């Protein structure tokens, strides 16, 4: 935790006026939404790394007679001590905060028996997973208090780091901020053959990063709100304040998950060494990319490798700048674009087990052929929490896609404000950014992008396997407050010649 806790200064009326002039936002955006406007914060050099990093337990599972791997999760309320002796009210899966890590192999069939022990309805969305829409866990698969839900599907996508979290329409930010989230790791033969660090919690580390606010005595409290959403002035990693992790291997794999509701990060090493990126949302890259930093918006993941020397200590930091955030001055200040954090200290043992260098080539990432595109769609992200001028309506299908086809989705942030874009069911490839080829760190499989202001992205995605005219998937801004305010749409995948028939009265098969 912090040696001294920096508190964000409240924005002045003058700074709000400057912001208005810069972004040309409406009075609704700035005043009607109750945006307080947090200022710059830095915890660099102020974090006392005194608490061992909590490692979420591996979820237990059984295998049915038909070969289905069965997990169980219970959403529940509880209390968590982020500071010794100080209890905060929190939510978690199978515990008081966060949830266990689910692990499955490509080719397996899985079922997750979800129980809701909360006093309000929630969902469990499998972020980044390719699966039928009725198993997706979006707002049409609500689980009532005391209810259960048992989605079942086949794992058929490359090894990667996925995660799960609630997706109730209008309440997603609140449910995630309270602690409902966890990782879902997929493995396959190609990944296992590479010899990458793979012992969970030892040299293969989950790093779930969230920002939060705390009172002076260490009780978790509500965060201040910028346009992006709620922004905390401290970080939690796997629910741990001021975390350190001891490692005994030369090479360590960190699975970074931005599980914050609004804050984006620019992860870098405190001593300036390059960040060796090996994987993004949907799987491993063809080759590692050596970077100054890795930028992750809410919902994005990255796998990085860290090689350590005996006895050394390396600090993972986030050093966001207006340039990295692609935000102009006051907009950046009020939305986390100038904030710096000490995140996690990695402590190497005096004697380390040797680790070979990873292969120069990781996995084959096949290209998608633009000549096969069957449909072009355009999605414009505005400053009033709408996509293409429309706010989310549960009973409306916005797009209808034919199964088995490749589509090009052009996503445009035509504002000076922060947004992102997430598509359910598919992993896509970024074909271009403002007409240029994507950089190496964005050249792999993705399901979420940080949508830079006044920038156009061309995304290629193939819709395979699952068609259901009655049940939609979602696309939306993954700044969760934006999603809750209506910055979301629905698409149905249908067989050739079919029309979407979904209505708001979809049968959710609740028990």
Read off the pLDDT band of 39 (50, 70, 90): confident
pLDDT for position 10: 29
Read off the pLDDT band of 25 (50, 70, 90): very low
Read off the pLDDT band of 13 (50, 70, 90): very low
The yes-or-no verdict on residue 114 having pLDDT over 80 is: yes
pLDDT for position 274: 98
The yes-or-no verdict on residue 331 having pLDDT over 60 is: yes
**pLDDT tens, position by position, 440-470:** 999 999 999 999 999 999 999 999 999 999 9
Task: List the single range of 8-12, 182-186, 269-273 with lowest mean pLDDT.
Answer: 8-12
The yes-or-no verdict on residue 332 having pLDDT over 60 is: yes
DSSP 122: B
* CA triple 35-122-471, angle to 5 deg: 105
Are 34 and 223 in contact by the 8 Å Cβ rule? The answer is no
pLDDT for position 2: 59
Of 246, 253, 254, 244, the C-alpha closest to 311 is: 246
pLDDT for position 503: 54
Average pLDDT of the residues in 84-90? 96
- What superfamily does domain 56-192 belong to in CATH? Cupredoxins -  blue copper proteins (2.60.40.420)
Are 223 and 274 in contact by the 8 Å Cβ rule? The answer is no
Beta partners for residue 109, in sequence order: 154
Q: Return the higher-pLDDT residue of 16 and 363.
A: 363
Percent of the chain having pLDDT more than 90?
89
Task: List the single range of 6-15, 271-280, 493-502 with lowest mean pLDDT.
Answer: 6-15
Of 238, 281, 236, 242, the C-alpha closest to 263 is: 236
* CA triple 28-10-486, angle to 5 deg: 30
Q: In whole angstroms, what is the distance from residue 328 CA to residue 50 CA?
A: 36
- DSSP codes, 285-331: EEEEEEES-EEE-TT-EEEEEEE--TT-EEEEEEE--HHHHT--HHH
Contacts of 96 (CB under 8 A, 6+ apart): 76, 78, 79, 80, 90, 179
Task: List the single range of 78-87, 199-208, 252-261, 497-506 with lowest mean pLDDT.
Answer: 497-506
Average pLDDT of the residues in 229-237? 96
Phi, psi dihedral angles at 123 (to 5 degrees): -140, 170
Q: In whole angstroms, what is the distance from residue 427 CA to residue 280 CA?
A: 11
Class of domain 370-494: mainly beta
Are 442 and 284 in contact by the 8 Å Cβ rule? The answer is no
Q: Return the higher-pLDDT residue of 510 and 91.
A: 91
The yes-or-no verdict on residue 164 having pLDDT over 60 is: yes
pLDDT for position 383: 87
pLDDT for position 1: 60
Task: Give burial (CB, 10 Å; 0-12/13-18/19+) of 171.
Answer: middle
pLDDT for position 198: 97
**pLDDT tens, position by position, 174-185:** 999 999 999 999
Please report which residue ranges of 110-184 form alpha helices under DSSP H.
172-178
- DSSP codes, 397-440: --EEEETTEEEEEEEEE-SSS-EEEEESS--BEEEEETTBPPPG
* Residue 446 three-state SS: strand
CATH of 13-50+201-353 given 2.60.40.420, 3.40.50.10420, 2.50.20.10, 1.10.760.10: 2.60.40.420
pLDDT for position 12: 28
Read off the pLDDT band of 37 (50, 70, 90): low
Task: List the single range of 3-12, 328-337, 400-409 with lowest mean pLDDT.
Answer: 3-12
Q: What is the pTM of this model?
A: 0.92
Q: Return the higher-pLDDT residue of 304 and 38.
A: 304
**pLDDT tens, position by position, 286-308:** 999 999 999 999 999 999 999 99
* Residue 90 three-state SS: strand
Compute the radius of gyration of the chain from its Cα atoms.
22
Token pair for 343 = 């995140």
pLDDT for position 14: 30
Of 87, 461, 120, the C-alpha closest to 282 is: 461
pLDDT for position 34: 44
Contacts of 337 (CB under 8 A, 6+ apart): 320, 321, 322, 324, 325, 327, 331, 418
Are 483 and 387 in contact by the 8 Å Cβ rule? The answer is no
Domains 13-50+201-353 and 56-192 share a fold: yes
Average pLDDT of the residues in 141-157? 98
Phi, psi dihedral angles at 27 (to 5 degrees): -60, -30
* Domain positions in the chain: 13-50+201-353, 56-192, 370-494
pLDDT for position 412: 98
pLDDT for position 26: 33
Are 126 and 136 in contact by the 8 Å Cβ rule? The answer is yes
The yes-or-no verdict on residue 91 having pLDDT over 60 is: yes
Task: Give burial (CB, 10 Å; 0-12/13-18/19+) of 147.
Answer: middle
Task: Give burial (CB, 10 Å; 0-12/13-18/19+) of 302.
Answer: buried
Task: List the single range of 10-24, 236-250, 260-274 with lowest mean pLDDT.
Answer: 10-24
């Amino acid at each position: 935790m912090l040696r001294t806790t920096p508190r964000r200064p409240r924005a002045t009326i003058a700074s709000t006026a400057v912001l208005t002039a810069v972004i040309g936002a409406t009075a609704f955006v700035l005043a009607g939404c109750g945006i307080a406007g947090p200022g710059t914060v830095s915890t660099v050099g102020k974090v006392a790394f005194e608490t061992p990093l909590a490692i979420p337990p591996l979820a237990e599972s059984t295998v049915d007679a038909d070969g289905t791997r069965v997990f169980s999760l219970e959403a529940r309320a509880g209390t968590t001590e982020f500071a010794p002796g100080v209890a905060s009210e929190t939510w978690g899966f199978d515990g008081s905060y966060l949830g266990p890590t689910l692990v499955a192999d490509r080719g397996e069939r899985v079922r997750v028996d979800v129980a809701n022990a909360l006093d309000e309805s929630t969902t469990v969305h499998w972020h980044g997973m390719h699966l039928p829409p009725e198993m997706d866990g979006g707002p049409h698969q609500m689980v009532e208090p005391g209810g259960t839900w048992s989605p079942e599907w086949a794992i058929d996508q490359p090894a990667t780091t996925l995660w799960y979290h609630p997706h109730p329409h209008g309440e997603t930010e609140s449910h995630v901020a309270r602690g409902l989230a966890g990782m879902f790791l997929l493995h396959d033969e190609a990944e296992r053959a590479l010899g990458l660090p793979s012992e969970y919690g030892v040299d293969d580390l989950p790093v779930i990063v969230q920002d939060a606010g705390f009172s002076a005595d260490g009780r978790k409290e509500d965060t201040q709100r910028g346009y992006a959403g709620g922004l905390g002035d401290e970080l939690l990693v796997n629910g741990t304040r001021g975390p350190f992790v001891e490692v005994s291997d030369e090479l360590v794999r960190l699975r970074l998950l931005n599980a914050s509701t609004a804050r984006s990060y620019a992860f870098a090493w405190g001593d300036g060494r390059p960040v060796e990126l090996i994987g993004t949302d949907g799987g491993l890259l063809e080759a590692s990319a050596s970077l100054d930093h890795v930028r992750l918006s809410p919902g994005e993941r990255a796998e990085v490798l860290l090689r350590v020397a005996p006895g050394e200590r390396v600090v993972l930091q986030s050093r966001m700048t207006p340039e990295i955030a692609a935000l102009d001055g006051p907009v950046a200040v009020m939305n986390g674009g100038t904030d710096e954090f000490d995140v996690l200290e990695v402590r190497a043992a005096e004697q380390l087990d040797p680790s070979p260098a990873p292969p120069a080539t990781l996995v084959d990432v096949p290209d998608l052929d633009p000549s096969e595109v069957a449909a072009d769609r355009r999605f414009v992200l505005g400053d009033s929490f709408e996509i293409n001028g429309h706010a989310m309506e549960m009973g409306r299908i916005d797009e209808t896609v034919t199964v088995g086809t490749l589509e090009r989705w052009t996503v445009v942030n035509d504002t000076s404000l922060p947004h992102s874009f997430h598509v359910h069911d598919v992993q896509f490839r970024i074909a271009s950014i403002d007409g240029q080829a994507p950089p190496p760190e964005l050249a792999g499989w993705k399901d979420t992008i940080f949508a830079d202001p006044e920038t156009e992205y061309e995304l290629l995605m193939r819709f395979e396997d699952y068609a259901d005219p009655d049940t939609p998937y979602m696309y939306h801004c993954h700044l969760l407050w934006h999603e809750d305010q209506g910055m979301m749409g629905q698409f149905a995948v249908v067989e050739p010649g079919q029309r979407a028939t979904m209505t708001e009265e979809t049968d959710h098969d609740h028990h």
